[in-house]
Every structure is written in structure tokens, then in C-alpha cells.
Amino acid sequence: MTRILIVDDEEKVRNMYNAMLVNEGFEVLNASDAMQASCILNKETVDIMLLDIKMPRVYGSVFYDIMKVFHKGVKVIVASVYPVEEQKEMVKGAADYYDKSQGLDLLLEKIKVIERSIAPHKSILVIDDEPRIRKIYRHYLQEHGYRIIEAHDGYAGMEVLSKNKDIGLVILDIAMPNQSGFDIHKKIKKEFPSVKVLVASVFNQSYQKLMLPDADEYYDKSEDAGDLVKKIEKLLYAESRA
């Protein structure tokens, strides 16, 4: 499970972050100052730390310099009322920076980007006969840090799977020439049972579930691309938050 340490002297801020992160399936630890945070880091395994700058006793910028000597593996997101450019001057070399005036959705996305970077690398195979669709998936998902491999039909897709052991998920169209999505899905689950299959089709999700009831997830191509990323994250990273 991905474990996040919140270091902020404001209780309402800690509670707000905590509620959001627990709801997303993360394990959360809390510290109201640098001394508490240091004690936690010495006793617990922490993957990501949300660090405020202006805190009593020891500023976050000072604590960051100290903790990076002893806890180099912890990824730090600076979360402060200061604008991001000022944060970068005060805390150099953090994994990312977050201005508290920005929405929580942005903070969550920054956390998930870092989570993907520290999780075991998994590639995504797109099996779709339409080059335009494959291009859209590739460009959008690469922006979110995923490695994308393409296949124009089921035969090519199965060959790719046999040669790439790091593929964790297949985005599979249903209506394709040569082999239908039904047949490809059966082969994938038989030969590569650990690989997740996300069905992506022009058919609505209810119809997709009727046609392929044992797929891992479903995506209607008319949906927002952000929904696709959320479904992928759920399939690939749910285990790290379980």
C-alpha cells in the first residue's frame, strides 16, 4: 500500500488531505511539525510526503534538507500557501510543488503521478484497428506517464504480449476485422491471466458488459478521456493501495 505522510501545522488542512487520500485508498500518516515527522520517518516506511513550508519550530524548507540526507527514498511534494515559483526557490529538488490556492484535484493528480513513478513499471497494450484511436490513446496516456504499445488486431496483440512481460493492461476494442474482441479476450485470459483487460468500444458500457461480462473494466469511447485514466489507475494501482 502506498503510504503518505502529511506534515502541516494546520489541523484543518491535515484533515482535508487525510479525507481525500483515505477515500482514494492511500494509507495516511499525520504530523503537525517537523519533529513529529522525523519520529514517524524513523519508525515507519513512507513513500510520499506532503510538506508545508511555514511551520513552528522548524520550517519545512530546513526539515527537507535534513530529511533528504537520511530518507532519500521518500518523494516530497511541497504544499504551501506560497506560489509555486517561490516554493522552488525555498525548497530545491522536491518531486513536485503545490500551491494551496489550487484545487485538491491537482494535488491528487500530482500524488498519482509520483505513485506511478515509484510503482513497478507496467506498460499498456492498445489493441484497436483504427490508427486514429490508437494515436489518441497513445498521446493522452503518455502524458500521464504510461508506456504505450500498439497492435492493429488480435494476432499482432497476442504476439506483443508474448514478447513483453511488463504489460499490465490491455485496452481492447470489440469490433475488429480478423478476430473479434471476444476471441482475443478469451486468449488473453487463458494465456496471460494476470494481465488486466479494459474493453473500450463505441458500444455503451451496459452492452459491453452483456457481451464480455468477465472483462476487468469497461470504457465507452464517447466518455471523457479523464475517465479512462481513472479506470486504468484503478486496475493497475489498486493493489498498491489495498
What would the pLDDT profile of 128-166 be if each residue is shown by its tens digit? 999 999 999 999 898 887 889 999 999 999 999 999 988
Q: What residue has cell string 494501482? A: 237
Mean pLDDT, the chain, whole residue set: 92
Q: Is the pLDDT of residue 43 over 80?
A: yes
190 vs 200: CA distance, rounded Å: 20
Cell of 242: 489495498
Mean pLDDT of 175-186: 88
Structure confidence at residue 102 as a pLDDT band (50, 70, 90): very high
73 vs 41: CA distance, rounded Å: 11
Mean pLDDT of 91-113: 94
* Count of helix runs (H) and strand runs (E) in the chain: 10, 10
Question: What tens digit of pLDDT does each residue of 75-92 get?
Answer: 999 999 999 999 999 999
Q: Which pLDDT score, from 0 to 100, does residue 175 have?
A: 86
Q: Which pLDDT score, from 0 to 100, does residue 239 have?
A: 58
Nearest to 52 by CA among 32, 75, 23, 69: 32
- The structural domains of the chain, ordered by start, are 3-118 (3.40.50.2300), 123-241 (3.40.50.2300)
| Helices 181-191, 154-163: crossing angle, 10 deg rounding | 20
Q: Is the pLDDT of residue 240 over 70?
A: no
Structure confidence at residue 120 as a pLDDT band (50, 70, 90): low
Cell of 2: 502506498
Do 169 and 126 touch, CB atoms closer than 8 A? no
78 vs 107: CA distance, rounded Å: 10
The count of other CB atoms within 10 Å of the CB of residue 227 is 11
Q: Is the pLDDT of residue 110 over 80?
A: yes
Range with the poorest average pLDDT among 144-148, 169-173, 182-186: 144-148
φ and ψ of 72, to 5 deg: -65, -25
| Helices 104-118, 225-237: crossing angle, 10 deg rounding | 50
The count of other CB atoms within 10 Å of the CB of residue 51 is 27
Cell of 82: 506560497
pTM here is: 0.63
Q: Is the pLDDT of residue 121 over 90?
A: no
Mean pLDDT of 115-137: 88
